[in-house]
Chains A and B, each alone.
Chain A
């Protein structure tokens, strides 16, 4: 059974600090996605990582993918309150199977 695990599950950080969320998965895949979900809302696509070594950045968020280690990271730089949300990674195994990670609930404290 495919497992997609994130850590930490809960993260409380102060504004201006840096932190990294980790996403480990248990099967071969070269497609990894990051989503953001605000309370009561649907999912917003953040990043699509399609190959080993892929790195993408948008504002204060940067995502990377290491397919050999089956690991993706979401790095937060100089956090601001607006980044408070739940972040999910998801793995696409063959185009028909799409599995979400456990989610990381991020709270940025002023």
Chain B
């Protein structure tokens, strides 16, 4: 299965600032997914990122708040903009397993964000 390197692993940020999270995959993948996991909660899909096109955002998430880049088939970034304490969460990227979703999805190690 794919190996994902996600960074930073954690950060403490001031409100009003922005943080960019990076995910690097060791193989080419068509789609990358970004999730948010609020404290004690399940995972919520933020957006799906395809290379060469704009990301597709889920209801409740907008590009101005969570801009995503996907410059090539192995890399993506998620920016959390104009942060507030409510953005404190774990953010995870994910990709399909090799061979598509039949082999499950692999997750990055996560970025634990605390906004103060």
User: Which A residues contact B (CB, under 8 angstroms)?
Assistant: 31, 33, 40-43, 45, 48, 50, 88, 90, 92, 95-103
Contacts and interface: CB of A to CB of B under 8 A. Distances in A.
B86 to A, nearest CB: 20
B57 interface: no
Interface residues of B, number: 25
21 contacts: A31-B101, A33-B105, A42-B109, A43-B43, A45-B104, A45-B105, A45-B106, A48-B102, A48-B103, A88-B42, A92-B101, A95-B96, A95-B100, A96-B56, A98-B33, A98-B94, A98-B105, A100-B43, A100-B44, A101-B42, A102-B42
B73 to A, nearest CB: 17
B35 to A, nearest CB: 8
Interface string B76-116: 00000000000000001010100011111111111010000
Contacts of A98: 33, 45, 94, 101, 105
Contacts of A48: 102-104
A43 B31 contact: no
Contact of B112 (A40, A45, A96): A40
Interface of B: 1, 31, 33, 41-45, 48, 56, 92, 94, 96, 100-110, 112
Contacts of A90: 105
Contacts of B33: 98
Given A31-B101, A48-B102, A99 B107 contact: no
A9 to B, nearest CB: 10
B100 A43 contact: no
A23 B100 CA distance: 23
A96 B94 CA distance: 12
Given A45-B1, A95-B101, 7 more contacts: A33-B104, A40-B112, A41-B109, A42-B92, A98-B45, A101-B42, A102-B42
